[in-house]
Amino acid sequence: MIDAQSLKDRIERVESKRAMLLRLQADPTLGTLSLDVEQALIEMDDLMAEFRRTFPLGVVTPPPNLE
């Protein structure tokens, strides 16, 4: 089972890749690959929306230190 912080870190890494896709989308030399970039952006946005519906803001937080 994955802990909350690891899950949060993985989601942040996925979100950070979106900026790279946006830069690629603006590249006029991509040709037909621009369709793949567009599809990747759509799927990433869908994935992140699903994540936010499943784990609303503040739900995925590390457990409190009980010491």
Residue spans of the domains in the chain: they are 11-54
| pLDDT value, residue 42 | 95
pLDDT band at residue 24 under the 50/70/90 scheme: very high
> For residues 41 and 21, is the Cβ–Cβ distance under 8 A?
yes
Q: What average pLDDT does the structure give for the chain? A: 82
Rounded Cα distance, 41 and 18, in Å: 7
61 — pLDDT class (breaks 50, 70, 90): low
| The model's pTM | 0.70
Instruction: Identify the pLDDT of residue 51.
Output: 84
